[in-house]
Structure formats: structure tokens, C-alpha cells
Amino acid sequence: MSRLVTIIGGSGFVGRYIARRMAKQGWRVRVAVRRPNEAAFVRPYGAVGQVEPVLCNIRDDASVSSVIKGADAVVNCVGILAEKSRNTFDSVQSEGAARVARLAAVEGVEHLVQISAIGADTESESDYARTKGEGEVAVLEHFPSAVILRPSIIFGPEDQFFNRFGGMAMFSPVVPLVGAETRFQPVYVDDVAEAAVKGVLGEAAPGIYELGGPETATFRGLMEKMLGMIHRKRVMIGLPFFAARIMAGALDLLQFLSFGIFRNTMLTRDQVRNLAVDNVVAEDARGFDDLGIKPVAMEAILPDYLWRFRPSGQYDAIKQSAGNLRT
């Protein structure tokens, strides 16, 4: 019988790429998610019955234990960028990660991979980064042989970074930037998935790996690159952090006063704290080189999905070429 991997959060941005790679490896893949009916798209990643979405609530011991039972390996991809209802940073990224590692050890799982983030730090002022750090500590406490991956900002067709700002540039003449000079090292989602697979297969030594792409750039530099690829000229305005904190505080307050009816998906105070810190691989950190992976450059991937934000979409290059002929 083929081996079984449980991917908690396996229908998310990173998880789906890990699921696809594990199916190609011939493993049975259990995709553990909150809404299995919305994760049916993972089934065609493998043969009939090879990839199955199942119900899992990372906040509940019995639920997590049920999806881990019988698995040879577990990958925890669950993470949130903003809190919603009972899905708080503490309950998901700290307590949830601890729960997965503890129960994986109890069930005799052979390999555990935890998807964390660069900047994870138990002493961070950001709740996001603090709980990521607490999750890492708990994982290593319960499962010392775990592989922990800390990617920088992740890009790919389903990302919430370039797609978000590409959509904004379609309709707004101005692109506001909080932390315009903060540095990032964007990493391709499938490179992160490949690193996770190496952890599942036991091809990566236990410990923490920081994953960044071949290029480091400021937030402003990344937006300039994106605008060049979508053939648009926009005014970029760097918002001072004090102004960003006021704006984010007002939006967070509005969400609180509306009892969650208004969802602050624009800018939170915690996101402002994160944007004040560089998001790049530390000089002494283990990374892609130690895993034998050569990360893909942004230029090789971004045009494949950012074309839809161009003035004429997929026909933009043809129209530009026709315009050159007329002149």
C-alpha cells in the first residue's frame, strides 16, 4: 500500500502545490481543511481516490487526531494574515501548530513539516510574527525532528500580493505603499512546495530553513517591477508609518464597532507592524542551497499570470506591436 501524507490546510495557496507534488510521488494525500466541499478541486491531482479532502478543525484535538491517524507524514500549512472570529493568531498559529506536533508525535508520525514565515519571533511586536515564533517553539518541543520552513513573501498565480496590487493598479491612478523601503525576497510557491516534499521524504535534515528567491527588492521596487509587467504607469506614494498606524487603527476600530459586519481586509495594525521589518533570509540561515533547490526568479513566473492586469489583457503585446507598425 502506498504511503499516506496528511496536509493540514492542503487546499490553500501553498498546500495545493504540496498536494500536487506528493500525488506525483505516488503517495496517498489526505487534504485536511475546514470546508472539504470547497476543496474538491484537489481530487484530479492524482488517480481516483488518491487525493481526498477531509474535514479538520485545527482548534480541536479530536478533529486533528482523526486526520493524522494512520499518516506516515504530516505537513501543517495553516496560517492566517488577519484574525476572524475564533480563528485568532494564538488559536491557529501558536496553539494549532502545537496541537498538530503533539498529536503527530502521539500517533507515531515519521516526518513533520511546519510552514512558518521569515520574521517568526516570540518577542515580536506583531501578533502574526509572535505566534509564528511560538508555533515553531512548540513544534520543536513536541516533535524535535520536524522540518520548519520560513518563506519570505510567496508569489504564484493564486497569491494575495501581486494579484492584489495588480488589481488596484487597474482602477486607481495611485498605489499607496506602507513600508515602501522595507525589503522582501519573494519566493515562488512551487519552490516552497518542493522544499516541503523534501521534508516529507526525509531528504531534509531536521531544523529551520529560511526560503527566499534569488532577488531582494524593496516594496517600492517590487511594485515598479509589477507595473512594468502590466504596462501601466501609476504614482506610488509611500505612506509614513505614523499615518499608516492611524489609518489601520481606524479600520480595526470600525470592524470592532460593527461586530465584524465590516471586515478590515485593507490594512490592520498588525500588518503595519510587520511591514516595518525587512522580510529577507538571514545571512547565517539554512536555505534552498542546503536543500539542493535552485529557486525560480520572479521574471520567469509573474508574466504568466499578471497579463490579465494589462490594459488589453492577453492582447496587449499584439496591440502594441500593431501600433508600432502604424508609426
Give the pLDDT confidence score for residue 261 in this predicted structure. 84
In a domain, 227, yes or no: no
Residue 158 one-letter amino acid: E
Closest CA to 295 of 213, 196, 193, 199: 213
In a domain, 97, yes or no: yes
Question: CATH number, domain at 124?
Answer: 3.40.50.720
Q: Which domain holds residue 14?
A: 4-158+186-214+280-296
Q: Where do the DSSP E strands lie in the chain?
A: 4-8, 28-33, 51-55, 73-76, 111-115, 147-151, 154-155, 174-178, 183-184, 187-188, 207-211, 217-218, 235-239
Question: Quick one: pLDDT at residue 326?
Answer: 59
Residue 166 makes CB contacts below 8 A (sequence gap 6+) with: 226, 230, 306, 308, 309
Please give the average per-residue pLDDT across 122-139, as a whole number: 97
65: exposed, middle or buried (Cβ count in 10 Å: 0-12, 13-18, 19+): middle
Give how many domains the chain has, as a whole number.
1
What is the predicted pLDDT for the residue at 1? 58
pLDDT digits (tens, 9 = 90+) for 16-74: 999 999 999 999 999 999 999 999 999 999 999 999 999 999 999 999 999 999 999 99
Q: What is the secondary structure of 117-183 as a DSSP string?
A: -TT--TT-SSHHHHHHHHHHHHHHHH-TT-EEEEESSEESTT-SSHHHHHHHHHH-SEEEEESTT-E
Summary count for the chain: helices (H), strands (E): 13, 13
pLDDT tens track for 150-189: 999 999 999 999 999 999 999 999 999 999 999 999 999 9
In a domain, 153, yes or no: yes
Q: Is residue 131 part of a domain?
A: yes
The verdict on residue 291 lying in a domain is: yes
User: Per-residue pLDDT tens for 219-232?
Assistant: 999 999 999 999 99
Domain-embedded: residue 57: yes
Domain membership flag for residue 302: no
Is 173 domain-assigned?
A: no
DSSP assignments along 237-262, one per residue: EEE-HHHHHHHHHHHHHHHHHTTTSS
User: In the Cβ-directed half-sphere of 309, how many Cα atoms lie within 13 Å?
Assistant: 25
**Whole-number pLDDT of residue 50:** 97
Mean pLDDT confidence for 255-283: 92
